[in-house]
Structure 1
Amino acid sequence: MSAEPETAGGSPAGRETWLYAQSPRPAGLPVAFRIRGRALEVERMARTDRFPLDRVEAVRLTFETRSFAPAQLTAKLIFEGGRTVKITSVDYTSLVNAKRKDAEYGRFMRELLARIGRYSPGARLLAGRSWPVWAITAVVAVGIVLGLAIVGWQALAQGEPVVALLAIVVAGLGIWQLEPMVRHNKPRTFAPDAPPPALVPPAAP
């Protein structure tokens, strides 16, 4: 389903409902998220949980990569009392098939962040990982790539072109996987009306 406004009855604040649906895990149940007035509703099967948007303490946006699955954008909402909601941009249609829903996710999250800014102006809006986690990830990523580059150089110097080529290929795959995670997850804050485009895709022109 797309993240588009629906028409709903009730007060003027609740006449427009934004819907985003996904299956966040290969073997998980479908989840529907609805922005209805001052609340976020999360529906799983026949159960609906309501999270007031005037009780949001923090939102964290991240970029995640997974083996044998599409990279995904993730939003974690933390509410008063410790309740949390996680929304991602990937929809699993089966155990082995998944598709990215960046456009729908972006439209939904921009509306959700705008309402959080309106109803919880004191909420912390965070993009990327925490500084310690990001720094460790960056150091490990650089170390892996440099280590493989050294292995490749030494293999080439010793007349082992196949080993050198293998090291270069693995290093390239490492850069392809790790570089976006380091770049997009650099810690910073953002305004509710200006989230990072890499983590909340803007609407198509």
Structure 2
Amino acid sequence: MTDPDDSQAALAGPGHSVRNSMIDSERAYRLGPDAVEWMEKGKKDSLRYADISAVNLITYAGTGATIGQAKITSRQGGSFKIRSHHYKGLAQFENRRQTYAPFIRELLGRVARASPDAKFTSGNSAFMIMWLVVAAMMAVLAVVVVMISYQTGDLPLMAIFILLVGGPLAIREVMKGGTKTFDPLDPPERLL
């Protein structure tokens, strides 16, 4: 005999389970007929698609991977984040993009249909400004490296290593730009 909850879950669509950080508990998300639902520490909660006012998708550099994140904002002003990578322990993350991408893609479509005035954005202006500051610091470090090399004849290897690794990362993040809108029915693959 089939459990009614199991058949309902099968009809609901993709699910995703994730622990965002050390201070969070694991949340199991699923898409219900009219709401995104989750269970955390044995307690169920939900947010109706029609009550979602905004979804912001970003990607950022994580430990050995690019992490995807969706920030869901309700009309009442509350928000929560769903990430693509599951926190397992100190500096240990498990890539769960195989469930994150289809879950977020389907969630976007359901929100777009139920809440036509919702805002769908990608990027984060604060992240871009932070990476712009990092890029500027890299430029100053590059000038210092050249001056030290010219005056002493020595190459500061650690500074060169930081420039070679951090420079391209900072430039890549700055090039993403600030906040932009996207079509929720055709979200950019790079954000999933």
TM-score w.r.t. the length of structure 2 is: 0.85
* Uncovered stretches (5+) of structure 2, i.e. residues with no partner: none
Contact 1:40–1:50 (8 Å) recurs in 2: yes
Contact 1:41–1:49 (8 Å) recurs in 2: yes
Number of aligned residues: 188
- Asked if 1:115 corresponds to 2:106, the answer is no
In 1: Cα distance, 2:128 partner to 2:105 partner: 28
Q: Deviations over 1:82-129 (max 9, x none)?
A: 121210011122334212222321111101101111111110101101
Q: Structure 1's 55 and 27: CA in aligned 2 closer, same or farther, altered over 3 A?
A: closer
- Structure-to-structure mapping, 1:4-83, within 5 angstroms: 8-9=7-8, 15-26=11-22, 28-66=24-62, 70-83=65-78
- Asked if 1:166 corresponds to 2:158, the answer is yes
Query: 1:29, CA displacement in angstroms?
Result: 1.9
Q: Structure 1's 8 and 83: CA in aligned 2 closer, same or farther, altered over 3 A?
A: farther
In 1: Cα distance, 2:177 partner to 2:70 partner: 12
- Aligned amino acid, residue 141 of structure 1: V
| Residue in 2 that maps onto 1:188 | 180
Q: Deviations over 1:47-102 (max 9, x none)?
A: 11110001111111112335x57442111010111121210011122334212222
- Asked if 1:103 corresponds to 2:102, the answer is no
TM-score w.r.t. the length of structure 1 is: 0.81
Q: CA RMSD in A?
A: 2.4
Contact 2:15–2:99 (8 Å) recurs in 1: no
In 2: Cα distance, 1:135 partner to 1:72 partner: 16
